[in-house]
Amino acid sequence: MDTENLKIQIKTFFGLEPILAEEVKKLGGRNVELKNRAVNCEGDLGFLYKVNYSARTALKVLVPIDEFKAYNETKYYDKLFKFEWDEFMDVNQTFAIDSTVNSERFSHSQFMTFKMKDAIVDYFQNKYGKRPSIETKSPDIKFHLHIDRELVTISLDSSGDALFKRGYRKEQGEAPINEVLASGMLQLAGWDGKGNFLDPMCGSGTLLIEAAMIALDLPAQTFRKRFGFQNWKNYDADLFSKIKEVRINRVREFTGKIVGYDIDGRMLNAAEANIESAEMEDIIEVRRENFFDTKKDLFPLLMVFNPPYDERISINDDDFYKKIGDTFKTSYPNTLAWLISSDLEAVKKIGLRPSRKIKLFNGKLETRFLQYEMYEGTKKLHKLENKED
């Protein structure tokens, strides 16, 4: 493996590709290309460690190690059997395979995964007289199989567990938002840690914690214990240690306020447990409040939230969204507010025209991330001020 010029694919959620591309460029990625739900780039081993440790909108960091065309299962197995797997793993290491198959010729993804597993095991048995073991929960080495029609790509998964598993979440809410999606939303909304932040329906606190991590410039994986690349043959522990040290030394002071409201005491308990786990008690304040009874008390203010909008939480949608609009209009002047919802009919009851709409997915739910501008004075003046910013 050429560790100076690695070809790297970084997975993300639909709609976050431009945000991830910016992160990748800032971290030193070369030849950055936007793909569907992914960013392709090149970089050295240090960059691979950096992007895993620091990129907020990365889900998985993959390094392709083999690519070939296969027109039937025999050819597919033969190609895999001939590949030199011992360059990338030891016979005593455990492994697992994630797969994505988009092919009429090979329609059964589980079968193709089994055939790849057989080829790896047979390779080691043939060469060393010993078989490596499969371990699905916590493997030493994770491979990623991607089949697009006849094109087969095998990659090493440098992340291990998906990168939304930051390591700070102790409690879940009814409908928790994914950490990567939360961070992407905040960056789309323009949160940079200057000013104040409010999540008026904070649930278990994910948006609050991700907002605090951005405000402090704390690396996304500060609390993570292990990465997949730490089990690779070429792992450079000193290099990774230096990268972490440099990144932690860049953490900055935050002078604003990050506040969360929720009407549900159980949710606030969950949020407090997660905030404590993330060591953010001094940065984040949570209060039991009904957003509809509150008034703006922070200036300047950015608001981002994930109101209840699907079958997991029952609300009277029309009335609920109308109250959001009324609260925006009467109690939050000169505020930029963003919310995510899959209920595109109900959001019309807000009664304000969104100034931006961004298509995102929360799990399998198609959603819109909507921006609302509440301001006093003329629209024209407001637009001029925005341009000057």
Average pLDDT over residues 223-244: 97
Residue 255 CB-half CA count within 13 A: 4
Contact in structure between 90 and 131 (CB atoms under 8 Å): no
Residue 129 CB-half CA count within 13 A: 0
Query: Which positions ≥6 away from 99 have C-beta within 8 Å?
Result: 109, 110, 112, 113, 116, 144, 145, 146, 147
Three-state SS at 281: coil
Question: Residue 284 phi/psi, 5° resolution?
Answer: -110, 135
For residue 187, give the nearest of 159, 220, 163 by alpha carbon. Answer: 220
Contact in structure between 254 and 221 (CB atoms under 8 Å): no
Give the confidence band of 378 by pLDDT, cuts at 50, 70, 90: very low
Average pLDDT over residues 50-54: 98
pTM over 0.85: yes
pLDDT tens sequence across 321-346 = 999 999 999 999 999 999 999 988 98
Q: Is the peptide bond before 308 cis (omega within 30 degrees of 0)?
A: no
Q: Are strands 60-69 and 30-35 parallel, antiparallel or unpaired?
A: unpaired
Interatomic CA distance for residues 83 and 312, integer angstroms: 46
Give the confidence band of 382 by pLDDT, cuts at 50, 70, 90: very low
pLDDT score, position 249: 96
The two tokens of residue 338 are: 């963003």
pLDDT tens sequence across 65-106 = 999 999 999 999 999 999 999 999 999 999 999 999 988 888
Interatomic CA distance for residues 24 and 50, integer angstroms: 9
Helical pair 45-54 and 237-248, crossing angle rounded to 10 deg: 50
Q: State what percent of residues in the chain have pLDDT above 90.
A: 87
Contact in structure between 62 and 89 (CB atoms under 8 Å): no
Tell the burial category of 219 from Cβ atoms under 10 Å away from its Cβ (0-12, 13-18, 19+): buried
- Which residues, listed in sequence order, are joined to residue 294 by a DSSP beta bridge? none
Query: Which positions ≥6 away from 22 have C-beta within 8 Å?
Result: none
> In terms of pLDDT, which residue wins out, 136 or 377?
136
